[in-house]
Every structure is written in C-alpha cells, then in structure tokens.
Amino acid sequence: MKRILLPVVFSMFVSVGFSQSLKKATKYFDSKDFANAKTEVEAYLEKNPKDGEAIYLKSKIYEGIADSAALHSLVNGDARAEAFQAFQQALADSSNMKVKLAVMKDNYKPVFDMYTGYYQAAVDDFNKAASTGDKSFFKNAMDNFINADNVGQYISKNEWAKIGKVDTTLVLNIGKAAINAKDDATAIEYFKKLADNKIAGPVGANDEGFKLPYEWLEQHYKESKDEANMLKYAKLGAEVYPKEPFFYLVLMDYYRENNDKMKLFGVYQNLVDAHPDSLKYRFSYANEIFGYIYNTSDEAAVVSDRAKWKATMVDQLDKSLAIDPNDVNSNWLYSQVFYNQGIDTRDSALKVKDATAKLNLNNEAKDDWNKAIPYATKALDMLDANGKKSDKSRYKSIVNLMQNIYQSLGDNVNLKKYQDMYDAADKKFDSRA
C-alpha cells in the first residue's frame, strides 16, 4: 500500500511547491519587484507551461519590465511584445474562467497598458529623432506605433474598447514616422487606410493634418509615374478637402511636364470652379492658355483649337479683372492678348491681295493695338504708384510692350516717349525699397 501512496503524496508536495512558487511570483509582482517576479513565474512555467493564470501573470510582469527603462536589460528583445504574446496566450482558452475573472478584475489593464506603452514609446522616439537629428529613431517610432496599432486592433476585436478598424491618429502617426524613416512601402500601406476610407480626422472632427495622406500619396504616385493612382488620390483628396488647391496643382505639374495641355486645362477648369473668387487661379489659367497659343512650337495643334482657347482665355481674364480691376498682371496680359491679336490680323493682311480686304484687316489690327493700350497703361500706372524695386523688370517689360504697340501703329511720338521711360526705369526703381 505504501508503494502505491508514495507517488500520490509526492505529487501533492510537488503541486503545493509549484503553487507556492506562483504565489511568490504574485507577491513579488505586487511589490513591483519585477526581477524576482520574472524569475519565479518562469520557473513555474517551465514545469507548468500551459497554466493560464501563470501565463497571465507573466504578461503583467513583462509589461512592468517594459514600462521601466532601468529594467529593460532583464529581457532580451522587446519585453512588451512578450507581454502581449503572453496575454493573448492566456486569453486563448476561453473556457478558463479563472483567467477570465482575473482579467476582468484587473479591468483589462495590462493590455491597455501595452497599447499606451507602445504609443508613448513611439512618441518619445519621434521626438528624439526631431531633437537629436538621429533619423534611426524614426524607424523605432514607426515600429512602436505599428505595435500599438496591433494591440489596439486586438482590443477592438475583443470589444473591450471602441477602437475603429482604422485607429485614425495612430495610423496617421505611423505614416508620418514611415515617411521620415524613408520607408515608402509602410507609408503607402497606412496612408491608404486613411485615404481609401475618406478619413479627414478623428470621429466627428475634421483635422487639417489629415490632408497629408492624400497629398503624399498623390505626389508619390506622380513621381512614380503611376497616373491611375495619382488621379485616384487627387480625386479623393479633392473630395474630402474641396477647398485645398494642392491636389489640382500636383496634377497640373504632371500634365505640364508631360506636355498634355488638354488635361492641364481640364484641371485648371476644375480649380477655378472650386475657387471661383480666386484671381490668382483665374489669371494663371488665362496665362497658361496664352503660352499655349503664342509660345508653342506645335503651331498646327494651336490653330486647330485656337478660337476655343482664346475665348476661354478672355473669359478668365474678364473674371480676373472683375475681382480686381487694378491687378497689374491681368491688365498686362490683356494688353498682350490684344497686341498679339493685332499682329495675327496684320500678318493675315500681308497675305491678302485684295486692296479692300487688306485695308479692312489692317484697320482691325490697329483697333486691337488701340484696345491694348488702356490695359498696359493701367498696369504701368499701378507700378508707378506702388511698385517696389523688385517690380523693375515687370515695369520694363510692359513699357517695352507699349513701344511695340506704338511702333506697330506708326506713332513715333509715343514710341519715343516709351523709349525714354524704358531708359529711365532703372533710376526710377533702384531707389525704391
């Protein structure tokens, strides 16, 4: 009988011994002696590797170690990652009511500490990179923000807190850190989570800082020459932030670089439609068309749609001057439009043999040149009155235009007047601030 009882008695002693070891680990943990708590709980888990209560205690101990920089040497690697792994392992057995009750009693504090711990570590790393110039901290920040997001999604999955599938500010921070860490793949992955879901800030808020994912993605795909994705994020950005011109301006650069004038003008039209009161954008649209009509080497392409684009150009200039009749650039450009129109008409007259038709065309040309004069005069008057030293070149260009106009009209008196004004321009403007 004794031989039968001995193993049972021995087993009971062993069980009691291990139970005492777990109690010691708990006691050390409660007193924040994490070093001894770690030793005791790991000794216990060597013999009881599936004990849910011990695994849960391990997660709390390791989170305590992670939370203290002075204790990081106790663990090789990321103590918080081991804490999170242990926490998930402990909760994996849904039938273990002791673990469930223990976690509920702690109000899920360990896993929330992991979430906030990773987040704060990421913020600290980001700030270190900014303050020290050591860019390696941006990579650390990115990794810690990602770890925080992983913990947060685990919390959300278990419905312990309301964290969205896209933890908005956290995901934005991952993207920011990734940009600074030169990790484009990660920036793309996380910025897409925001942009594809048309997120403009935390729930119920519209944060200007959330423009970044849309802007960065559009610019990234522009540089990658991925037109489809560039257009996708330009469209999404303009939809979420309809008053932000950035999305239009990037597309303009792209189409300008690729000499695609029709698409460029389409974007300009969308821009002025979104900003109808913007003199700047209306003038820029008109100026772009002017360059297309008069400064391109592809004459055939210009001639084919010249009338249409001239009408659009004049319409945009009219609207610019309706916003500000005294705008120097709009008046200057309008004078150039009439001057060039007169030159075109005069050139047509040179090709006509019929005397009456030639006379009529020459008179039309003179009429256009005379129409140019008031606009150029107004631009010069504004610069005379308010121009700075930096306006000298612009002033001289308009004066030179007036010389060309009066030379075309055969008005030598006014031609001499503007030649003298041109010669006096340096002295006039060099003395200004």
Class of CATH domain 16-106: mainly alpha
> Would you state the pLDDT for residue 298?
55
Q: Under the phi-then-psi rule, with left for phi > 0, alpha for psi from -120 to 50, and beta for the rest, what region is 77?
A: left
Q: How many CA atoms lie within 13 A of 196 on its CB side?
A: 10
Contact at 8 Å (CB) between 354 and 313?
A: no
| % residues pLDDT > 90 (the chain) | 86
Q: How does pLDDT run across 188-198, given as a tens digit for each residue? A: 999 999 999 99
What pTM value is reported for the model?
0.84
Q: How does pLDDT run across 303-345, given as a tens digit for each residue? A: 568 889 999 999 999 999 999 999 999 999 999 999 999 999 9
Contact at 8 Å (CB) between 257 and 273?
A: no
Contact at 8 Å (CB) between 172 and 209?
A: yes
Any idea where the domains of the chain sit in the sequence? 16-106
> Considering Cα of 224, then 226, then 229, then 234, what sign does the dihedral take?
positive
Contact at 8 Å (CB) between 396 and 425?
A: yes
> Considering Cα of 137, then 138, then 139, then 143, what sign does the dihedral take?
positive
Q: How far apart are CA 241 and CA 231, in angstroms?
A: 15
Q: How far apart are CA 293 and CA 331, in angstroms?
A: 18
> Would you state the pLDDT for residue 217?
98
Average pLDDT, the chain: 92
Rounded mean pLDDT of 52-60? 96
> Would you state the pLDDT for residue 1?
33
> Considering Cα of 110, then 113, then 118, then 121, what sign does the dihedral take?
negative
